[in-house]
Structure 1
Amino acid sequence: MKYFDTEVLRPFAEALFCKEGLSGADAAIVVEGMIKANLRGIDSHGLSRVPMYLNRLKKGVVNPRPNIRITRVMPAVSLIDGDDGMGFLIGRKAIDEACLLAETVGIGLVGARRSTHYGMAAQYVLQAIEAGYIAIALTNSSPAIPAWGSRTTFLGAAPLAAGVPGGNHSPYVLDMAMTVIARGKIRLAAQRGDPIPEGLALDSEGRPTTDAKKAFEGVCLPFGGVKGSALSMLMDLLAGVLTGANYGGEVKSLYFDHSAPQDVGHLFIAIKPDLFVPPEAFGERMDTFIERAKGLPKAMGFDEILIPGEPEERTETDRRRTGLPMTDDVVTDLRNEAVAAGLIFPEGSDSPLGLT
């Protein structure tokens, strides 16, 4: 395990993406999204994905200089054509557009197509919260789980993210995949040769497995059984069918299919929080809700009641002080990318940095 100052990793990672054709500004957006995931403890969507994203750029299935086009469909609705660019760029433009629409008419709905994997979904609702809006972000993704009753992949892990600004308390931030565990975490376990717990996945023959590599090549199980499968189907309908993106098993695999661009679909909703009550009252009501929730009697084994987003916020506070922890396999992958690009990989520390 090594610890890294984010401000040392940031220019290094940006330089890697610029080597593959991204502009400096676009590379900064992409890297910021991955570092934000690492800071919040979502390491499966952090800098460990750099080699995979670079490979897709090299294979020509991601456009490094997309012409991202926004079409106003109705007063509160826009459609974005991502031109097969990095999903981070498309997601950022889409949530910005949704907030712009909401500022004018109270609510904004933005669909996006011809996108690619857009990283940690929470980053887009956090972006909206910072601008003062409630937000929901939906996406479809490459096949990872079965339709209920099937044993083959068809639906995506398709994370759902939602955020509501707080008053004096932290905001509510939900980010959850439709799988029992995020597929990216199974990928990391496979990469490290670690087993996974029972009940997370099936192998390619439809048999339960604790072998992360077989699980990654097989089928992830939906959380809550039929309920998770049904929600993933809803994501595909709203983010894929509705927007004109690929859907119904058509989204290309992020890891295994370099035959064509993914054509991922997203759907973003931004809402002004003061539509029905004054802004001050909304903040007070959020504070009251959170205080009531935290004041509930605690179940056995629980010392505290947390609101969605709080654990990640605390992790971010800690990691901004100690630096980003990275396992040896991720460090090796990034060092190899540095050698291939003719760059110098920054030195890490064997212990937390104690940054201030």
Structure 2
Amino acid sequence: MNKAIYLPSLQLSIFIKNILLKAGVREDVAHFVTEGLIQTSLRGVDSHGVRLLPHYLKALKGGRINSNPQYAFHQTSPSTGMFDVDHTFGHAAGMEAAKKAILLAKEAGSGHVAIYNSTHFGAAAYYSLEIAKHDMIGMSFTNTDALIKTYGGKRPFLGNNPICMAVPCDGEEPFCLDMATSQMTFNKVKQFEQEGKQLPQGVGFDKDGIETTNSKEVTMLSPIGGYKGYGLSMMVEILCSLLTGMPYGPYIPKMFEAPLNQKRFLGHFVMALRIDCFQEISVFKKRERRYSYTRKGVFNFTVFGFGI
């Protein structure tokens, strides 16, 4: 296992962005990728942070990721739009979509953007937190390749499709829930493999559908809450595959296994909801703060953003 190297985040940001620019990535795209990776690692989610840069560079070199996308946004109603992101980095796609959702919400009260022709989304919190900065509730979703062991079966059909919600709070970091619909994400499994660690029980299965704690053998993941987690994956798949016109489940090329010149055609969905359409914003944010501290006194676990 390689020894960890510690760098100031600003220094690492400059380093990553320069690598992307030298690889031919357009400046605005490189900015969002860098910001997304750094923010995610600083939030303690290294599985979806800086450690993925080498994979992205391989996908870029192979032709899977488009470094110079030609975006096409079609507003379909006062509050909705379809966004073709031309197979660019998911970080750029998601952030551009979040900004469009915010603009739609400012006019219509809510904004909903369906994203298609995309690549790996990164951490969904990056986009929801951006929306929360504008005193709105942000939600973001993405589909993934088939990873979850079918409930009661031996093969995967749905991905561990992530769900994220961020809510602004008075004087504190926003509340943010960013979770996959599996017990552990596949990128977290890959991180365990990279670090030579055994997995906890109940996380993954091998190619024969047998539970394993060997991170190298995992090809399927266990859904959260049994059939309920599988149902949540279906819900996200409807938003991110059916509404976007993108492939679903087993028809999505795998992140690490598919040839890196093969486009993945991933779909995402981003939502912005104006709080002031329901409650006076300052009152809501103060109540959210009181709620957060009340919750801390009841539950014996730490919620990121509250007092840390």
- 1:278 matched to 2:280: yes
Distance in structure 1 (CA, Å) of the matches to 2:281 and 2:33? 33
Aligned identity (percent) is: 31
- Asked if the contact 2:146–2:250 (Cα under 8 Å) also holds between the matched residues in 1, the reply is yes
Report deviation, 1:223: 1.2
Equivalent residues in 2 for 1:76-91, closer than 5 Å: 76-91=79-94
What residue in structure 1 maps to residue 237 of structure 2? 236
What residue in structure 2 maps to residue 310 of structure 1? 305
State the SS of the aligned residue for 1:274.
helix
- Asked if the contact 1:76–1:108 (Cα under 8 Å) also holds between the matched residues in 2, the reply is yes
Report deviation, 1:243: 1.3
- Asked if the contact 1:152–1:206 (Cα under 8 Å) also holds between the matched residues in 2, the reply is yes
Structure 2 residue ranges without an equivalent (≥5): none
Equivalent residues in 2 for 1:1-356, closer than 5 Å: 1-215=4-218, 218-258=219-259, 260-296=262-298, 302=300, 306-307=302-303, 309-310=304-305, 314=308
Aligned residue identity for 2:149: P
Distance in structure 2 (CA, Å) of the matches to 1:169 and 1:57? 37
Aligned residue identity for 1:191: Q
Aligned residue identity for 2:192: A
Distance 1:281 1:201, change over 3 A: same
The structure with higher relative contact order (CA 8 Å, sep 6+) is: 1
Report deviation, 1:131: 1.9
Distance in structure 1 (CA, Å) of the matches to 2:124 and 2:71? 19
What residue in structure 2 maps to residue 340 of structure 1? none
Over alpha carbons, which structure has the higher Rg?
1
Distance in structure 2 (CA, Å) of the matches to 1:210 and 1:278? 49
Distance in structure 2 (CA, Å) of the matches to 1:209 and 1:291? 39
Report deviation, 1:147: 2.8
- Asked if the contact 2:106–2:274 (Cα under 8 Å) also holds between the matched residues in 1, the reply is yes
Aligned residue identity for 2:26: S
Distance in structure 1 (CA, Å) of the matches to 2:283 and 2:193? 49
Aligned residue identity for 1:234: M
Report deviation, 1:42: 0.3
So what's the TM-score if we normalise by structure 2?
Answer: 0.94
Aligned residue identity for 2:224: F
- Asked if the contact 1:151–1:219 (Cα under 8 Å) also holds between the matched residues in 2, the reply is no
What residue in structure 2 maps to residue 330 of structure 1? none
1:96-118 CA-partner distances (Å, limit 9, x unpaired):
11110000010011100101112
Report deviation, 1:219: 0.6
Distance in structure 1 (CA, Å) of the matches to 2:105 and 2:179? 25
Distance 1:280 1:8, change over 3 A: closer
Report deviation, 1:199: 1.0
Aligned residue identity for 1:78: G
Distance in structure 1 (CA, Å) of the matches to 2:121 and 2:99? 15
Aligned residue identity for 2:139: I
Report deviation, 1:205: 1.1
Report deviation, 1:177: 0.7
Report deviation, 1:65: 0.6
Distance in structure 1 (CA, Å) of the matches to 2:171 and 2:21? 40
Report deviation, 1:288: 3.1
Distance in structure 2 (CA, Å) of the matches to 1:28 and 1:283? 30
1:45-66 CA-partner distances (Å, limit 9, x unpaired):
1111111001111111111111
State the SS of the aligned residue for 1:80.
strand
Distance in structure 2 (CA, Å) of the matches to 1:151 and 1:16? 41
- Asked if the contact 1:178–1:231 (Cα under 8 Å) also holds between the matched residues in 2, the reply is yes
Distance in structure 1 (CA, Å) of the matches to 2:201 and 2:285? 42
1:313-349 CA-partner distances (Å, limit 9, x unpaired):
83xxxxxxxxxxxxxxxxxxxxxxxxxxxxxxxxxxx
